[in-house]
């Protein structure tokens, strides 16, 4: 069994793994810096194609965005961990099960954007930890993120904003990228997205103009203090990458920490 446990540290509650959408306008990152980073790949036309990102939280559990997988079979996905490159190195494991948040299952046939955009990807065999493979921490339920808090978004997605909404991600980065984003005021976020419903379990963030997540970064971690996954990249308006008016939307992990603890062990 690979369990998640709760820990109180320096007055803040975190969930720890026991025993430990491409970035546009960002910078290179290394797996040594972010050893929990995972790239999820989809088998299509006899080739493993980059699909989404993820965050390793136990030896058998990766957090990602539910909208990356839809009605697909787990057998059509694999995950690479322990490598800065999405195409070579590290360890590749097969996805064996998708555990969708139950509220997501109620709305998964609705139009985008979807709430409850969170999935646990269970992989096999269990992943061995090393200097380049380590679990991330997740925040417990009460975890304030004041407006302006600096966060880091990670991913292997598109390096340019070509406006494409569908199809294979042909401009995915071959190496891990990072970009600094800052927590955006929730009420202003709702006002800017007046045509959409921005609910409390969504985390709004924004980068400088011309920078941010893009296609292929969905499911990737948004982290605080290097390894605390506070968000899972979810969506942005009309796939506008690096837009300085419409914030990027992530799933707020703290809202679902108890569900992750209850379902992430295995």
Question: What integer pLDDT is reported at residue 10 of this predicted model?
Answer: 28
State whether 206 and 228 are in the same domain: yes
Distance between CA 142 and CA 231 in Å, rounded? Answer: 14
Q: Over pLDDT 90: what percentage of the chain?
A: 60
Residue 27 belongs to some domain of the structure? no
State whether 156 and 125 are in the same domain: no
Give the least confident one: 26-30, 60-64, 171-175, 249-253. Answer: 171-175
State whether 123 and 14 are in the same domain: yes
Q: What is the CATH number of the domain that holds 87?
A: 2.40.10.10
Residue 130 belongs to some domain of the structure? yes
State whether 90 and 158 are in the same domain: no
State whether 175 and 238 are in the same domain: yes
The total of structural domains in the chain comes to 2
Distance between CA 244 and CA 189 in Å, rounded? Answer: 12
State whether 175 and 130 are in the same domain: no
- This prediction has a pTM of 0.87
Residue 243 belongs to some domain of the structure? yes
Which DSSP helix (H) or strand (E) runs through 246?
A: none
State whether 206 and 169 are in the same domain: yes
State whether 242 and 197 are in the same domain: yes
State whether 116 and 11 are in the same domain: yes
pLDDT digit string, tens, across residues 55-94: 999 999 999 999 999 889 999 999 999 999 999 999 999 9
Residue 28 belongs to some domain of the structure? no
Residue 201 belongs to some domain of the structure? yes
Residues 262, 61 contacting (CB under 8 angstroms): no
> Above 50 in pLDDT, residue 14?
no
Q: How many residues does the structure list for the chain? A: 266
> Above 60 in pLDDT, residue 19?
no
Q: Which residues pair with 7 in a beta bridge?
A: 14
Distance between CA 100 and CA 53 in Å, rounded? Answer: 16
Residue 207 belongs to some domain of the structure? yes
Q: 189: exposed, middle or buried (C-beta count within 10 Å: 0-12, 13-18, 19+)?
A: buried
State whether 117 and 197 are in the same domain: no
Residue 26 belongs to some domain of the structure? no
pLDDT digit string, tens, across residues 184-242: 999 999 999 998 889 999 999 998 877 888 878 899 999 999 999 999 999 887 667 87
Domain of residue 72 covers 4-20+35-136+254-264
Q: Measuring CA to CA, which residue among 264, 242, 230 is closest to residue 149? A: 230
Residues 86, 173 contacting (CB under 8 angstroms): yes
DSSP 8-state class, residue 255:
G
Question: What integer pLDDT is reported at residue 117 of this predicted model?
Answer: 94
State whether 121 and 176 are in the same domain: no
State whether 10 and 125 are in the same domain: yes
Cα–Cα–Cα angle for 193, 197, 198, rounded to 5 degrees: 75
Q: Sheet containing 4-9: which strands, arranged edge to edge?
A: 4-9, 12-17, 138-139
């Amino acid at each position: 069994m690979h369990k998640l446990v709760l820990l109180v540290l320096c007055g803040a509650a975190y969930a720890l793994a026991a025993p430990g959408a491409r970035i546009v306008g960002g910078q290179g990152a290394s797996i040594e810096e972010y050893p929990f980073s995972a790239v999820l790949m989809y088998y299509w036309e006899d080739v493993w194609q980059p699909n989404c990102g993820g965050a390793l939280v136990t030896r058998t559990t990766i957090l990602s965005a539910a909208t990356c997988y839809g009605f697909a079979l787990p057998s059509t996905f694999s995950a690479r961990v322990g490598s800065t490159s999405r195409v070579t190195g590290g360890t590749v494991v097969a996805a064996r099960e998708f555990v969708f948040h139950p509220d997501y299952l109620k709305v998964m046939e609705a139009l985008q954007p979807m709430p409850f955009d969170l999935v646990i990807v269970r992989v096999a065999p269990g992943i061995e930890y090393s200097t380049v493979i380590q679990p991330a921490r997740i925040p417990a339920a009460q975890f304030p993120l004041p407006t302006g808090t600096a966060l880091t978004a990670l991913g292997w997605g598109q390096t340019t904003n070509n406006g494409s909404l569908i199809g294979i991600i042909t401009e995915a980065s071959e190496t891990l990228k990072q970009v600094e984003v800052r927590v955006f005021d929730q009420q202003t976020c709702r006002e800017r997205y007046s045509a959409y419903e921005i609910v409390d379990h969504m985390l709004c963030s924004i980068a400088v103009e011309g920078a941010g997540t893009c296609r292929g970064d969905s499911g990737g971690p948004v982290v605080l203090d290097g390894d605390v996954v506070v968000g899972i990249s979810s969506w942005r308006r009309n796939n506008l990458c690096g837009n300085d008016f419409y914030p990027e939307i992530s799933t707020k992990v703290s809202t679902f920490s108890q569900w992750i603890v209850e379902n992430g062990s295995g």
